[in-house]
Structure 1
């Protein structure tokens, strides 16, 4: 079946998951997943290794904004990743933090509500905020005048970006703090179904507008066609209850249970409190899971509740400035952990890996996909060097 035609999602996905569930266990540990996992990825159209653009390309543009997602799309990332929240008036938007203080000028526009959660703002109010200037201040070496005044995006705006241009990435959507947004899983299902991103058929995008594309040659073959596959949407969450709700609402859509350690997550060994001069990255790096059985319990839960994989955190060993260390966490993708996940017939999509040496390390352990803040680095490392540079693309976009 051509990838440029509508796809019968439900039947293909059901067959792929059934194949994974019925396959035989792994043999000896290896750096590659078991054949059943590769077959599942192939049936769903999930590339291997998967390059997941974490909040777009937040190394080169303000996270979760238009230029960040345009960059990720046109560089060739397989998925555009986003954190889903809901406004006071019921609109689905993309924002990572629970509050707006880090990445907007909310303190200037709404000083009395500066620390309020996103759920207390209407979409019209959020659209008044500047979501780009903070980046210019934080990273002056990557600052651009066009970043000033960037807006918070809705899920619908990100979908339109994914559909535009010659490359067609999928969407990788996290239910962020879902307890604050009761019923958000049902809202997401309704939106994706109404937008023809899930359901009995999937839109071919043959008539999609391409005004955002730098490439004007319509005959140029697409480098990325995940958006045409049964795995065009992947749902992710840290919360077991949200995983259950997503499975209830969208049983035929691939899901990933994100892994973390500590209260409410995988139990950790007791350790000394964080030192006054100890960075978050160094503190996280010395945390250890309490036992293999505790780790395995989360894998079993993922498998038994509809997930096709897990998303463990990683330790970033390579440094090139403060940015990469912001996303260095505890080691939940050690070799034995990756092996155990594969023994449970679960894919492993690790977060957040930005450096070439770390991509090599975790790929050698058998990690199947990577959340990354630097999609150009990951793509180049996996033999998919982008056709155009970041600077050329941003300039073409007018930033």
Structure 2
């Protein structure tokens, strides 16, 4: 009889422990939408950065969100490339040896379109090209992916923001589910985001920053739906300060961190409150976050 009682009590204790364990695990994740893993420069780890090959490489490992940069050529074509200069990621020094410092803004699209933007990454990428924004957006669209688009070096390109928005509008990215669910425009300055808000108020915006200064957040919240913060100095208190505010669309501000490549750190930051990560290894982060109980889908 006593043996049965002991077994019964032991079973009740184990059952209670299991309930407590499940409850504890469930409450580790904040009450919010999923945590996004965004492919930095489209998919720079697996393919030449900011190319159509990188877009496809991200898609191949199940990454929906991409991040890339837009600049403008000498004759006004919008192109997707990160660096101010073409030298690091193309063969421009070989093909145009007297063009130093080989800045994007100093060359026409006809000249840039001849450059090899893949061989520096590996022989298998030889002949990969710098894409125009039009080519890039069409590939993102055909892959059913989502995009964080940075207005790069706006101080070098007068009206770059307006030109970019006009191109996005022409390509159908300022209406329907593309603008509500699949596009975020980011920049390092609030002036650019103000221009976005004036021209296309339905677009979600993100302010890039390196210093998590909480006192500036109310001013940022006037023009940004998200804060994209360099991860080095963030604290749990910073996430709470951001989440306490609402952006221009009346929704809670979100925080994406860049550039986070360590899956363990990503899980820790997610527990602190991070809503997403811009990463060179988004596939590893997405797997680790899923194992920790976080979904990948981030809804607006």
Q: TM-score range by the shorter chain?
A: 0.7 to 0.9
Structure-1 separation of matches of 2:99 and 2:139: 31
TM-score, structure 1 normalization: 0.61
Match of 1:176 in 2: 152
C-alpha RMSD over aligned residues: 2.0
Asked if the contact 1:100–1:114 (Cα under 8 Å) also holds between the matched residues in 2, the reply is no
Structure-1 separation of matches of 2:181 and 2:155: 26
- What SS does the aligned partner of 2:174 have? coil
Q: 1:135 aligns with which of 97, 110, 121?
A: 121
Structure-2 separation of matches of 1:383 and 1:153: 33
Larger Rg: 2
Query: How many residues are matched?
Result: 259
Give the drift of 1:58.
0.9
Q: 2:229 aligns with which of 312, 334, 337?
A: 312
Structure-2 separation of matches of 1:377 and 1:158: 24
Asked if the contact 1:231–1:253 (Cα under 8 Å) also holds between the matched residues in 2, the reply is no
Deviation >2 Å, runs of 4+: 30-33, 73-76
Asked if the contact 2:93–2:102 (Cα under 8 Å) also holds between the matched residues in 1, the reply is no
Whichever structure has more strand as a proportion of its residues is: 2
Match of 2:235 in 1: 334
Structure-2 separation of matches of 1:50 and 1:377: 12
Match of 1:5 in 2: none
**CA offsets, 1:276-304, max 9 Å, x none?**
xxxxxxxxxxxxx7xxxxx1243222211
In structure 2, stretches of 5+ residues that fail to align are 1-26, 246-251, 292-300
- What SS does the aligned partner of 1:101 have? coil
TM-score, structure 2 normalization: 0.80
**CA offsets, 1:229-286, max 9 Å, x none?**
712110000112111111111111100101124xxxxxxxxxxxxxxxxxxxxxxxxx
Q: 2:194 aligns with which of 232, 244, 261?
A: 244
1:356 maps to 2:263: yes
**CA offsets, 1:43-100, max 9 Å, x none?**
xxxxx20121111111111111122110112322232211110111111111111111
Structure-2 separation of matches of 1:249 and 1:170: 21
Q: 1:256 aligns with which of 187, 190, 206?
A: 206
- What SS does the aligned partner of 1:377 have? helix
Q: 1:185 aligns with which of 131, 139, 161?
A: 161
Match of 2:135 in 1: 157
1:80 maps to 2:66: yes
Match of 1:300 in 2: 218
**CA offsets, 1:189-230, max 9 Å, x none?**
21111111113x45xxxxxxxxxxxxxxxxxxxxxxxx5x71
